[in-house]
Amino acid sequence: DVKVTQSSRYLVKRTGEKVFLECVQDMDHENMFWYRQDPGLGLRLIYFSYDVKMKEKGDIPEGYSVSREKKERFSLILESASTNQTSMYLCASSFTSKQFFGPGTRLTVL
Amino acid sequence: EDKVVQSPLSLVVHEGDTVTLNCSYEVTNFRSLLWYKQEKKAPTFLFMLTSSGIEKKSGRLSSILDKKELFSILNITATQTGDSAVYLCAFYAGGTSYGKLTFGQGTILTVHP
């Protein structure tokens, strides 16, 4: 079974802090994705990566950056957290269209 | 701009009822449509549909795609409280989209005993 893990289930940070969210997959998938999920808005794509060191902006990249130094690991970085980045963050990986999701990180920015 | 719209946004039923969830899409390129179920954790894959008119079935859940009218439905018969979840549909464009999916807003299903 594919396993996608995320570094934290719950995280509380202060406005202005730098935040790192880590995602690791164990199935050698080329593609990895970061989404945020807010009530009524579904899953919105922040960034994705189709290979090591390759990244593409999704629909809402502002305020975020990503890093993919190794194939199995995809990190989401909030350079200076703001209260409007309070959300559920989901990571996913895939080989083709079927994506496998991690358990999510619920981030609260105070 | 590619768009996926789900309806209804929320639904409350009683155990034993049958429900139909809708997903319509307006997209430039279409390869497949996927359904996921999300309880209080990671979305889990239910179905992938690529061909029009062919029903996919798994127990009490079934789904069908209509590529002419650009929609898909997810049916759940004899609902149980364990079916309470957010149901997400997403389309996949294929080609150079690198596995990228575009999701609808989700339908929140609540099944009361």
Mean pLDDT estimate for chain B: 92
Determine the pLDDT at residue B15.
97
Note whether A97 contacts B106, CB cutoff 8 Å. Answer: no
Whether omega before B43 lies within 30 degrees of 0, making that bond cis, reads no
Interface test with B, best of A57, A97, A101, A106 (most B CBs within 10 A): A97
pLDDT single digits (tens) A31-50: 999 999 998 888 999 999 99
DSSP β-ladder status, A87-94 and A105-109: antiparallel
pLDDT for B10 equals 96
Predicted local distance difference test score (pLDDT) of residue B39: 92
Which chain B residue lies closest to A2 (C-alpha atoms)?
Answer: B44
Nearest-by-CA chain B residue for A96: B99
CB-based contact A98 B98, cutoff 8 Å: no
Interchain contact B82–A (C-beta under 8 A) = no
pLDDT tens readout for residues A50-94: 999 999 999 999 999 999 999 999 999 999 999 999 999 999 999
User: Which ranges of chain B does DSSP label H, i.e. alpha helix?
Assistant: none
Question: Residue written as tokens 């996919």?
Answer: B56
Q: What is the pLDDT of residue A9?
A: 93
Nearest Cα to Cα of residue A64 among A36, A30, A32: A36
% of chain B with per-residue pLDDT over 70: 100
d(CA A74, CA A87): 18
- Cβ distance B99 to A31 less than 8 Å, yes or no, reads yes
Is the pLDDT at A2 greater than 80, yes or no? Answer: no
The whole-angstrom separation of Cα B47 and Cα B89 is 9
At residue B24, the pLDDT reads: 95
Q: B45 and chain A: CB distance < 8 Å anywhere?
A: yes
Q: What is the pLDDT of residues B12-47, one digit of tens each?
A: 999 999 999 999 998 888 889 999 999 988 899 999
Residues of chain B with C-beta less than 8 angstroms from the C-beta of A66: none
* Nearest Cα residue to A105 out of A83, A93, A82, A88: A88
DSSP H helices, B16-64, are: none
Of the pLDDT bands very low, low, confident and very high (cuts 50, 70, 90), residue B64 is very high
